[in-house]
Structure 1
Amino acid sequence: MMKKIYYLLLLLPLFIAFTGCSDLEEIVFDHEKQEFSTRENAILLEFIMPTGSLVDDEYYIIGDFNGGEEEAFENPEWMLEKAAESNLKWGIYLMPSSFKDGKSLTDGFYLKAKRQGGERSVKNEPVVHTLDVQVGSFTNVWVDRWESYFGEVVKDSYSIYVNNQTGWDELSLYAWGDIEGITPGWPGLLPTGTEVINGVTYSVFDMGKDNKDVTMNLIFNNNNNGKQFDAMQGFTLNRDVYLLVTEGSFEEVDPNVIPYAGFTVYVDDQTGWDELAIYTWGDAELAGWPGIQPTGTKEINGVVYTYFEMGEDVNGASLNLIFNNNGNNSQLADVPVVLERDFYFQITTDGATEVNPDGEPVEDEGFKVFFEDNSGWDAIALYYWGDDVADPGWPGFSPAGTEVVDGVTYSYFELPAELNGKSINTIFNNNGAGIQIDGPYILIDKDYFFTVTAEGATAIE
């Protein structure tokens, strides 16, 4: 008997130690800590997202209590808010007074992400949560996976996202095809919203459930104000479509690629050459002879262009382009450009012609001569002469207007486009009233800036 008592006394400290552990505080991980403040009149749910969830996605809570997916998805009232200090914690305040048809969280709910799809279990099964909670409470809810983790998201409907670079005041989308009423009657559908993806603002045209997998033809227009062009023809709407749209062209783009911020030269190559390169000289030489190689090819409005991304560091530069067959003894005449926009050329062995993306020729733009007039004359004109240059007639051109450049207001002369690439001698005069000064000899491959006095013209660097 004494041995048993002694044995029990030996076990007593261990028993006390183990029972003492129950008094320790429960361990709480950082991602489980409450991130939003509790409100007396609302239920606070904080969702712990799976690793890899997109920070810039939109997450919506859906259940019978808020009308289901048709009413709740993409409704701002039911969109979650990201916690300020955590990329894994998203919260929402729910007020039972707004619940529909006497439903509650006990009837089930789940999340759906705009880009990653519906909530899924680790076995790729649909998930439904149930909770019996009251106002003034806080509850963590764990999310295991998203539909996108298991492959491409299957959507009920698809949208057409448009990076609108038309310059139009309004943009409408009309569609026709296999069925009637793909969009409302002409001029069609106005954007249903906007969305920013990788810094690009897209106008969003929600095409609706009835148009999923329908074959259609698209026409963009300026809401029936006189401008329109055909876009994608005979395509099946079985995915979201992302387009870059200008006044007369369209191009399908990848929204996940951060947009290139420089300018591009597109070439419809009809030379028959085996290779194509562009050599540049002027403000910059992008590479030694034979120049830069193509970035790739793109089909725009049925035309396959070889395109050259010129680089963001030469935006605004004045360059002369020499199209050549990659240094194999064939080249075209110099083409002067100022990289303030994209350029589209059709080239043959006879030369290069600038075109619109729809293939029609465009008129060349001339350069400008900007000047500060300190001459004291009552009027001023610019005359020029040179080899193979048409005589503008004395006293020359009058100023075309004024323009603010880098905070300075200049008057300017507009030079005709046929001077591009040619050299001229300039004469500033008081509009033929008896006074004139010789200006500089200049190559017309860029805009020029001068200070004009009664004694002479000085270049502004």
Structure 2
Amino acid sequence: MVINERMTKMNKCKRLLCLLLTLATVLSICAVGFTASAAEVEVVDVSAKATPTSASDFTWDNATVYFLLTDRFQNGNTSNDNSYNRGLNENGSKANYNEVAAFQGGDFKGITQKIKEGYFDDLGVNAIWVAGWFEQTHGYVVGGDGKNSFAHYAYHGYYGLDFTELDKNYGTEAEFKEMITTAHEHGIRIVLDVVLNHPGYNSIYDMNEYNFGTLTSNWKSVYYNWNGINQNNYHGCIKYNDGQASDWARWWGRDWLRAGMAGYDNNGHGNPLTEAVTYLPDFKTESSATVQIPELLKTKWTREGTYNAKVNEINETFSKYNLGNKTVSNYLIAWYAKWVEEYGIDGFRCDTAKHVDKNTWGRLSAACTKALENWRKANPSAVGADWDEEFWTTGEHFDKGLGKDDYYTTGGFDSMINFAFSGNSVGGNTTGFKRVGNLNQTYADYAGKINTDDSFNALTYISSHDTGLCRDDLYYQGSALLLLPGGVQIYYGDETNRSVVQCSINDHAIRGFMNWNSMDKNVLAHWQKVGSFRNNHVAVGAGSHKNLSATSGTAFARMYDKGGVKDTVVCVISANKNSSTTITLSGAFADGTKVVNAYTGDKATVSGGKVTFNSGAQGTILVEVDSSAVEVPTTTPVVKPTEAPSTAPVVKPTEGPTTAPVVKPTEVPTTAPVGTDPSETTPIVTIPPASKPTTDPTTTPTTAPVVTPAEKVILGDADLNNQVSIKDATLIQKDLAKIVTLDEKATFAGDVDGNKTLSIKDVTYIQKHLAQMTIEFAVGEEVVYKEGTTVTVPVKPTDAPVKPTDAPVVPTDAPEDPTDAPVVPTDAPVVPTDAPVVPTDAPVVPTDAPVDPTDAPVIPTDAPIDPPVSDTVTIYFKNTYGWSDVYWHAWNDAGGTNTPWPGDPMTQVSGDVYSAEVSTEYTGIIFNDGSGSDSAKTDDTTISAGQMFANGSWVEYDPNGGGGYDDPIPPTPDGNTIYVKDSAGWGTVYCHSWSDFSGTVWPGEQMTSLGNGVFSISVDPGHTGVVFNNGNGTQTGNLTPNYGQIYDNATDTWSPYTDNGGGGGGGDDIIVSGDYIYFTDNQNWGTVYCHTWNMDGGTTVWPGTQMEFVDGKYRAMVDGSHTKVKFNGGLGGPESGEFDLVLGNSYSN
């Protein structure tokens, strides 16, 4: 079904237009009926914390969507934390287990608390995407594999059990309604995450609770053994194919699902509509067959006493929305539409859109659009009932970039999620916006494609729950994202520098709890300023883009002029910090226009087509019309449309914040901008932003003090990029190893203990800080590097004459007095543009030996070493030309770099498909056969990362037919073990593995030593790539895991593995007993790790290797070259003293 009646962008602003026309009409009346001398104007202050009765100035075209996982955001009601016995022992007591993938307490009430506090208002957020709301499977499945397995509950909200009920861990219906109502009172839309492709897995707990499937009799001893969780034991309790089909029919049933067990159809491989996404059971949404309510829900609703009411509700909803036959997809549409009709939901984010046919998505959109209309009619007094934008949907097609297709027509989507600035899951750190290349060109491209087409938009992000956290210079990333044309998405914690948590599976590592107690307040303040500016100006997201020039940085203008609404802004990002920056406006603002930098509150007047501001500590300038300088014409006083003054109004100044004036589209009132007909007599009414009034000097001073602020650095920030990361520890180690030499400022920042010398102790302090351990020094906080100065200098007269009645324009380099000088925030460090660049290769550990146990390098897994992939993108080519070889020749359109013709050879993937890793420096490319012939090459084309060039155009490359999703928890098949022969003498071997959907955290899991230089590990069977490394900078290239084979790290070859270490070097029978050390846990730590190292810099990654419990003791295989050991209870847990490491010895606490 094609949706033909979607609201256009102009219609979405019609309420604001109506307001403006009403005001214009009142103006003309007032001009006749009242005298100018008594005119009183009341300026409407729509401040950030105001409670609008109608957010009629909202448009999805300028949406800032905040994506949060309900369970991981804020705990507002602790009484619901263990609903459905989650996390409890069989006797009801609280279990002691690894809760990294468990429910952690966040709920609807917590979200409501933060809305009321104004957290989202301050950030400029106008929509919240809520993941986790309907009832999830009650029990856990197994996350991870082997020694790192853990309980994985459906905390994220993607493993549905009952789509008609809220999950009690998230809250009650009253709390759900309060969350939505409170959001609407703040002008914030609520977008719910919906799933049509699949329900949740068949957890052991749910199988027993609802009597479906076939379990073994010992399931309880397996399920409640919290410290012995593993895939083999768990799935060994479930009889998938040797059980009774009648038992499994009591689940969803064959008509509803493809699940591959007794009585169910198998999943369709290679077909996105019928294949299993990460082994999840697949709803038959493409089927036109009529189905009954599944037995699982019949059982559940009957027990809860709601069966008859549910059936009646289903029948009513089918009839009301004309859904037709009771197919699988129509049941799901009916259930979701009912939520919209009952609560006034504003939109849906549609999970795994690729795996559901587009007609179904179109029907869901149409039904929910009607359902929202019905809610507004039934609740006329509710906040939001008078909003006029239609129901909104955005879809997730994993790896989809910016491009319009039938998702927007047949699928009825208003938007699709844009993966263009998200890296893959390798290493768990996304790329975001790169500083190389032309950001203005990206902006122009997005504005040109999105804001010229009323039926097209995208939702762009830099971090997400499926890929990774972008933590590369969050000041720059915040500006680049929030000033992007089109819709943008903030992933919770982007704005506070939330870090990853320790977990062997990347998906859970990037979904930690919101860091309320460790927020980076400087980063947050920056995002709040830029986010508020975006929210206050429709031109930012919805306007046309114009490149401007400035003395430094990326400068541009955005202009919006639709339906009587006009808005213009000018921005500069990445300017030289704390420098006087002149912007050439190219007609964006007319001469004489008084403007303000919304980032700092500094004011200026446009002269000679230019304006100058100080760039501040973050090199960010956000220019808007200075509302405090607006002159209201005496013949056309502005009044509120709801009031007719009985006396002529008097103009009243407004007062508001200087850093984040809050207003929607502004207009230059005194001088018509370029392109405007000054003869027009119908006024365009402006609701100006509130701003703090200032007093302009009446005379030009002859001298003025120039204040040089104190120069500060962040303690531990050795690379001077305004944040402390593992790269800083790496850089100091390289300085100690004399690979690089840090300058004076970088050395000062890296000298954590303040002893004037860099040492391994400074490295350790940084690593412990990143691991959130307590240290005695203020790592991460600002310290003064150089004190500020004040000097008095002559003031040059201004170039332009100043009228006697006007306030003079005072140059920014010569303020009248110190209080008028440009204010440089002292809470943001000044970072030079020539800060040392940290290489992306892994760190070199210095030869300095740790002085004591606290000096052992502590490299937390929540601050990963650089992943193996950096500054390159993968592209593909379909060789339909029959060339025997394929080459790629690339260049940068800006000049300066290119590959010599005919370029480099591509690697054959399979058949006629080839791939290549291409530097992100390059923008254009030609494919050819390597012969140099002009007849055997393609035309020039722009590089499209991750896509395949086929038959003259870029298309999506999808070899596996799968989409991105939450980490898979399939039964682990036998034979997923791989081996490494350490012929290169690394000593310690790690395995980092990944797929399109998930990955381990770099450097991966430490492999188990089998002796004789042979190491083994069982990897996730869904992972398609591996990199072996020593955890300390030496690594292989990207490899395909060959199960049951052994890889030789000296010869770069795979061969069959034999239990005597063959297939890579052969050898004698393995002797393993001498590689163990043992530990007796007298203090009941519960979990024990051993961290080992030697005096040559060899070390495990803190907290070390998790020990296994065997015959009453813990044991672990360790590197025989290590000489020291320290036992601990895991990250942040108890620690033992330091011991000499002797293989075969037993230790205790």
TM-score grouping bracket, smaller chain normalisation: under 0.3
Bigger relative CO (Cα 8 Å, ≥ 6 apart): 2
Greater fraction of residues in strand: 1
Answer with 1 or 2: which has the greater Rg: 1
With normalisation by structure 1, the TM-score equals 0.27
With normalisation by structure 2, the TM-score equals 0.13
Greater fraction of residues in helix: 2
